[in-house]
Structure 1
Amino acid sequence: MVKNKRLALSISDASWGKLVSQLEYKCNWYGRTFVKIDRWFPSSKRCGHCGHIVGQLPLNIREWDCPKCSTHHDRDINASKNILAAGQAVSVCGANIRPERESPQGLLRNTRKGKKQKPKL
């Protein structure tokens, strides 16, 4: 959204971090569950019917058909359904929305002094 020259300043001023902290505060206040979905979760590119993820989906495409199951999707409605399903999966079965961090193997590690060491296998 920040790439749009007309909206960039307004969006940058919106203070998204403050909005998230206020939502979390209010959820705690009213005894609700607050689930924060990962920034890179493909909510609008994932088919809400079969789970297929489309590789490229430019922002100007507002409606699309799933190449796997041929279901027609409105981009925003599909994203909202996927976010709801992800939030319910976390609250019901404790699923993890954020991708697991994997330690890279075979890469040189940085030490405290900045010198590189041999890979730890």
Structure 2
Amino acid sequence: MRLSWLRAGWRFLRLPLILVVLYLVLRLVLAALSERQGFGSPDGTGLAYLAVAAAVSALRVGLLVLVPAVLAYRLVVQVTTRLLGGADAPAPPSNAESDYPRAADRDFQASSTACTTKNTPPPVA
């Protein structure tokens, strides 16, 4: 039981944690690049510095705005699902358990239907 709770928590926080680690790594790369080619350097800014700075800025906005919004949305959906659906609510079917028949079942049904409408026996496999 406890292991399933940890797995659910990991699924909930996996993407934000990956983004935080990526941000910290890129921040270190940006610091190293700014020692060599920052805005005040005689050579000016290089393409690598500008690309890493843009990526760090985009990740910062994502981590400050988008990630909290997504986490709040997931939390609200989780809470309302448990409150409204309760523990008895059926889980949505996975792809393997869908209501749609498999292709082999559809082919078999189609061939058996075609054979019965012509009053001929179905083919023997």
Per the normalisation by structure 1, the TM-score is: 0.29
The structure with the greater share of residues assigned to strand is 1
The structure with the greater share of residues assigned to helix is 2
Per the normalisation by structure 2, the TM-score is: 0.28
